Amino acid sequence: MTGILDKIFCDKKVELGTVKRKLALPDLKMRIANNKYEIRDIRMSLESSKMSSIIAEIKPRTPFKGELLNKHDPVDIAKIYAENGAAALSILTESSYFGGSIFTLEKARGCVDVPLLRKDFIFDEYQIYEARAFGADFFLLIATWLDKNHLADLLSLGKELGLPALVETHNENDMEKAFEVGASILGINNRDLTNGKTDLEIARRLIPIALQVPDKLMVCESGIHSRNEIEEFEKLGAHSFLIGESLMTAENIGVKLREFTGDRKISTKN
Protein backbone atom coordinates (compact mmCIF):
# COMPACT_ATOMS: atom_id res chain seq x y z
CA MET A 1 0.00 0.00 0.00
CA THR A 2 1.31 3.42 -0.88
CA GLY A 3 0.45 6.77 0.65
CA ILE A 4 0.24 7.88 4.24
CA LEU A 5 0.51 4.39 5.74
CA ASP A 6 3.92 3.91 4.14
CA LYS A 7 4.98 7.38 5.27
CA ILE A 8 3.92 6.69 8.87
CA PHE A 9 5.85 3.41 8.97
CA CYS A 10 8.89 5.06 7.35
CA ASP A 11 8.90 7.87 9.92
CA LYS A 12 8.31 5.35 12.69
CA LYS A 13 11.49 3.51 11.74
CA VAL A 14 13.50 6.73 12.12
CA GLU A 15 11.82 7.56 15.42
CA LEU A 16 12.40 4.07 16.78
CA GLY A 17 16.16 4.48 16.43
CA THR A 18 16.02 7.43 18.82
CA VAL A 19 13.75 5.56 21.22
CA LYS A 20 16.14 2.59 21.35
CA ARG A 21 19.07 4.86 22.17
CA LYS A 22 17.15 6.34 25.10
CA LEU A 23 15.98 2.98 26.45
CA ALA A 24 17.97 -0.01 25.20
CA LEU A 25 16.30 -3.41 24.80
CA PRO A 26 18.14 -4.98 27.80
CA ASP A 27 16.86 -2.13 29.98
CA LEU A 28 13.37 -2.61 28.59
CA LYS A 29 13.51 -6.33 29.43
CA MET A 30 14.67 -5.45 32.95
CA ARG A 31 11.71 -3.12 33.28
CA ILE A 32 9.40 -6.00 32.31
CA ALA A 33 11.05 -8.27 34.87
CA ASN A 34 10.61 -5.68 37.61
CA ASN A 35 7.12 -4.42 36.87
CA LYS A 36 4.01 -5.86 38.47
CA TYR A 37 1.65 -5.74 35.51
CA GLU A 38 -0.50 -8.83 35.29
CA ILE A 39 -1.86 -9.29 31.80
CA ARG A 40 -5.62 -8.93 31.71
CA ASP A 41 -7.52 -11.45 29.59
CA ILE A 42 -8.86 -9.55 26.60
CA ARG A 43 -10.90 -12.46 25.26
CA MET A 44 -12.64 -12.91 28.59
CA SER A 45 -13.32 -9.19 28.84
CA LEU A 46 -14.82 -8.94 25.37
CA GLU A 47 -16.79 -12.17 25.52
CA SER A 48 -18.17 -11.68 29.03
CA SER A 49 -19.54 -8.18 28.49
CA LYS A 50 -23.22 -8.11 29.46
CA MET A 51 -23.90 -5.43 26.85
CA SER A 52 -22.33 -4.71 23.47
CA SER A 53 -18.57 -4.99 23.77
CA ILE A 54 -16.83 -1.70 23.03
CA ILE A 55 -13.09 -1.08 22.81
CA ALA A 56 -13.09 2.67 23.43
CA GLU A 57 -10.19 4.52 21.87
CA ILE A 58 -8.11 7.46 23.07
CA LYS A 59 -6.99 9.21 19.91
CA PRO A 60 -5.78 12.81 20.41
CA ARG A 61 -5.71 13.62 16.69
CA THR A 62 -5.65 12.11 13.21
CA PRO A 63 -3.82 13.09 10.02
CA PHE A 64 -7.21 13.29 8.32
CA LYS A 65 -9.34 15.30 10.77
CA GLY A 66 -6.84 17.07 13.00
CA GLU A 67 -7.27 17.56 16.75
CA LEU A 68 -9.88 15.45 18.55
CA LEU A 69 -8.92 15.75 22.21
CA ASN A 70 -10.64 19.12 22.78
CA LYS A 71 -8.49 20.00 25.82
CA HIS A 72 -9.45 16.81 27.68
CA ASP A 73 -6.70 14.98 29.52
CA PRO A 74 -6.34 11.53 27.90
CA VAL A 75 -6.14 9.82 31.30
CA ASP A 76 -9.39 11.50 32.37
CA ILE A 77 -10.97 10.11 29.21
CA ALA A 78 -9.66 6.65 30.11
CA LYS A 79 -11.47 6.93 33.44
CA ILE A 80 -14.69 8.07 31.75
CA TYR A 81 -14.52 5.14 29.37
CA ALA A 82 -13.96 2.64 32.20
CA GLU A 83 -16.75 4.14 34.31
CA ASN A 84 -19.24 3.98 31.45
CA GLY A 85 -18.97 0.39 30.33
CA ALA A 86 -15.97 0.02 27.99
CA ALA A 87 -14.87 -3.61 27.78
CA ALA A 88 -11.33 -2.49 26.89
CA LEU A 89 -9.44 0.65 25.90
CA SER A 90 -7.41 1.30 22.77
CA ILE A 91 -4.64 3.82 23.35
CA LEU A 92 -2.87 5.43 20.41
CA THR A 93 0.82 5.66 21.27
CA GLU A 94 2.02 7.04 17.91
CA SER A 95 3.07 10.66 18.49
CA SER A 96 3.85 12.36 15.17
CA TYR A 97 0.55 11.76 13.36
CA PHE A 98 -1.89 10.85 16.14
CA GLY A 99 -0.58 12.81 19.13
CA GLY A 100 -0.30 9.74 21.34
CA SER A 101 2.29 8.67 23.88
CA ILE A 102 3.52 5.44 25.42
CA PHE A 103 3.29 7.25 28.75
CA THR A 104 -0.47 7.66 28.34
CA LEU A 105 -0.63 3.86 28.19
CA GLU A 106 1.42 3.62 31.39
CA LYS A 107 -0.70 6.21 33.22
CA ALA A 108 -3.96 4.59 32.11
CA ARG A 109 -2.69 1.25 33.40
CA GLY A 110 -2.54 2.74 36.87
CA CYS A 111 -6.10 4.08 36.94
CA VAL A 112 -8.38 1.64 35.07
CA ASP A 113 -9.00 -2.08 35.43
CA VAL A 114 -10.02 -3.01 31.88
CA PRO A 115 -7.56 -4.44 29.29
CA LEU A 116 -5.48 -1.96 27.30
CA LEU A 117 -4.59 -2.19 23.63
CA ARG A 118 -1.36 -0.59 22.48
CA LYS A 119 -2.41 0.81 19.12
CA ASP A 120 0.57 1.83 17.05
CA PHE A 121 2.39 1.07 13.82
CA ILE A 122 4.29 -1.96 15.03
CA PHE A 123 6.93 -3.65 12.88
CA ASP A 124 9.84 -4.27 15.28
CA GLU A 125 10.19 -6.73 18.16
CA TYR A 126 11.33 -3.86 20.39
CA GLN A 127 7.85 -2.32 20.16
CA ILE A 128 6.24 -5.47 21.54
CA TYR A 129 8.63 -5.55 24.50
CA GLU A 130 7.85 -1.86 24.94
CA ALA A 131 4.11 -2.57 24.95
CA ARG A 132 4.58 -5.19 27.66
CA ALA A 133 6.87 -2.93 29.72
CA PHE A 134 4.46 0.00 29.72
CA GLY A 135 1.33 -1.93 30.65
CA ALA A 136 -0.42 -3.14 27.49
CA ASP A 137 -2.55 -6.28 27.62
CA PHE A 138 -2.63 -6.73 23.83
CA PHE A 139 -1.25 -4.94 20.80
CA LEU A 140 -2.10 -4.10 17.20
CA LEU A 141 -0.57 -5.62 14.06
CA ILE A 142 -1.59 -4.22 10.66
CA ALA A 143 -1.77 -7.06 8.15
CA THR A 144 -1.96 -4.65 5.20
CA TRP A 145 1.61 -3.50 5.78
CA LEU A 146 3.27 -6.62 7.21
CA ASP A 147 4.09 -9.64 5.05
CA LYS A 148 3.02 -13.06 6.27
CA ASN A 149 6.34 -14.14 7.77
CA HIS A 150 6.89 -10.81 9.51
CA LEU A 151 3.37 -10.92 10.88
CA ALA A 152 3.90 -14.48 12.15
CA ASP A 153 7.16 -13.58 13.89
CA LEU A 154 5.66 -10.60 15.72
CA LEU A 155 2.59 -12.60 16.69
CA SER A 156 4.84 -15.36 18.06
CA LEU A 157 6.87 -12.95 20.17
CA GLY A 158 3.68 -11.53 21.61
CA LYS A 159 2.63 -15.00 22.68
CA GLU A 160 6.00 -15.54 24.36
CA LEU A 161 5.44 -12.38 26.37
CA GLY A 162 1.84 -13.29 27.15
CA LEU A 163 0.39 -10.59 24.89
CA PRO A 164 -2.20 -11.50 22.25
CA ALA A 165 -2.37 -9.41 19.08
CA LEU A 166 -5.34 -7.79 17.40
CA VAL A 167 -4.51 -8.48 13.75
CA GLU A 168 -6.12 -5.76 11.69
CA THR A 169 -7.40 -6.59 8.20
CA HIS A 170 -8.82 -4.43 5.44
CA ASN A 171 -9.42 -6.82 2.55
CA GLU A 172 -9.49 -10.47 1.56
CA ASN A 173 -5.70 -10.72 1.18
CA ASP A 174 -5.22 -9.42 4.72
CA MET A 175 -7.78 -11.90 6.02
CA GLU A 176 -5.95 -14.78 4.32
CA LYS A 177 -2.66 -13.71 5.93
CA ALA A 178 -4.34 -13.52 9.33
CA PHE A 179 -5.74 -17.03 8.92
CA GLU A 180 -2.39 -18.44 7.81
CA VAL A 181 -0.51 -17.08 10.83
CA GLY A 182 -3.18 -18.31 13.25
CA ALA A 183 -4.45 -14.96 14.49
CA SER A 184 -7.19 -15.49 17.06
CA ILE A 185 -8.38 -11.87 17.34
CA LEU A 186 -9.28 -10.34 13.98
CA GLY A 187 -9.90 -6.67 13.39
CA ILE A 188 -11.83 -5.55 10.32
CA ASN A 189 -10.95 -1.93 9.62
CA ASN A 190 -13.51 0.00 7.62
CA ARG A 191 -11.10 2.90 7.11
CA ASP A 192 -8.99 3.26 3.98
CA LEU A 193 -5.61 4.13 5.46
CA THR A 194 -4.53 5.91 2.30
CA ASN A 195 -7.18 8.63 2.50
CA GLY A 196 -9.00 8.27 5.82
CA LYS A 197 -12.41 7.50 4.31
CA THR A 198 -14.60 4.85 5.93
CA ASP A 199 -16.87 2.37 4.22
CA LEU A 200 -18.97 -0.04 6.30
CA GLU A 201 -19.38 -2.27 3.25
CA ILE A 202 -15.89 -3.58 4.06
CA ALA A 203 -17.14 -5.17 7.29
CA ARG A 204 -20.30 -6.39 5.61
CA ARG A 205 -18.14 -8.17 3.05
CA LEU A 206 -15.40 -9.51 5.34
CA ILE A 207 -17.36 -10.68 8.40
CA PRO A 208 -18.90 -13.69 6.57
CA ILE A 209 -15.38 -14.64 5.41
CA ALA A 210 -14.04 -14.43 8.96
CA LEU A 211 -16.88 -16.63 10.20
CA GLN A 212 -15.63 -19.49 8.04
CA VAL A 213 -12.87 -20.17 10.57
CA PRO A 214 -14.16 -21.07 14.08
CA ASP A 215 -13.07 -19.54 17.38
CA LYS A 216 -12.03 -16.18 15.94
CA LEU A 217 -12.89 -13.07 17.93
CA MET A 218 -13.98 -10.38 15.46
CA VAL A 219 -13.56 -6.67 16.14
CA CYS A 220 -15.24 -4.18 13.82
CA GLU A 221 -13.10 -1.02 13.58
CA SER A 222 -13.80 2.53 12.38
CA GLY A 223 -16.84 4.25 10.93
CA ILE A 224 -19.31 3.28 13.67
CA HIS A 225 -21.55 6.21 14.58
CA SER A 226 -24.80 4.72 15.87
CA ARG A 227 -26.35 2.01 17.99
CA ASN A 228 -28.21 0.74 14.92
CA GLU A 229 -24.92 0.03 13.15
CA ILE A 230 -23.66 -1.94 16.15
CA GLU A 231 -26.83 -4.03 16.21
CA GLU A 232 -26.52 -4.68 12.47
CA PHE A 233 -22.94 -5.93 12.73
CA GLU A 234 -23.64 -8.00 15.82
CA LYS A 235 -26.29 -9.83 13.82
CA LEU A 236 -23.69 -10.45 11.11
CA GLY A 237 -21.32 -11.94 13.67
CA ALA A 238 -19.08 -9.16 15.02
CA HIS A 239 -18.12 -9.66 18.67
CA SER A 240 -16.75 -6.22 19.53
CA PHE A 241 -16.35 -2.69 18.20
CA LEU A 242 -13.31 -0.42 18.32
CA ILE A 243 -14.61 3.15 18.35
CA GLY A 244 -12.54 6.32 18.59
CA GLU A 245 -13.63 9.46 16.75
CA SER A 246 -17.35 9.11 17.50
CA LEU A 247 -16.51 9.05 21.21
CA MET A 248 -13.70 11.61 21.21
CA THR A 249 -15.88 14.19 19.45
CA ALA A 250 -19.08 13.49 21.42
CA GLU A 251 -20.57 16.31 23.49
CA ASN A 252 -20.88 13.89 26.39
CA ILE A 253 -18.41 11.02 26.06
CA GLY A 254 -19.91 8.85 28.81
CA VAL A 255 -23.45 9.10 27.47
CA LYS A 256 -22.28 8.32 23.94
CA LEU A 257 -20.39 5.25 25.13
CA ARG A 258 -23.43 3.98 27.03
CA GLU A 259 -25.50 4.48 23.90
CA PHE A 260 -23.06 2.28 21.98
CA THR A 261 -23.11 -0.43 24.66
CA GLY A 262 -26.91 -0.41 24.72
CA ASP A 263 -27.14 1.06 28.23
CA ARG A 264 -28.58 4.56 28.06
CA LYS A 265 -28.23 5.34 31.76
CA ILE A 266 -26.22 8.51 32.31
CA SER A 267 -23.17 8.23 34.54
CA THR A 268 -23.01 10.83 37.31
CA LYS A 269 -19.20 10.69 37.08
CA ASN A 270 -18.92 12.23 33.59
Residues with a catalytic annotation lie at: 57, 59, 119, 168, 189, 221-222
For residue 117, give the nearest of 246, 242, 257 by alpha carbon. Answer: 242
Between CA 2 and CA 17 the distance in angstroms is 23
Asked whether the beta carbons of 211 and 26 are under 8 A apart, the reply is no
DSSP, collapsed to helix, strand or coil, labels residue 253 as helix
Q: How many CA atoms lie within 13 A of 8 on its CB side?
A: 24
Q: In the chain, at which residue ranges do the beta strands (DSSP E only) sit?
A: 53-58, 61-62, 66-67, 88-92, 116-119, 138-142, 165-169, 185-189, 217-221, 240-243
Q: Give the Å distances, CA to CA, from 255 to 34, 84, 222, 226, 230.
A: 38, 8, 19, 12, 16
DSSP, collapsed to helix, strand or coil, labels residue 129 as helix
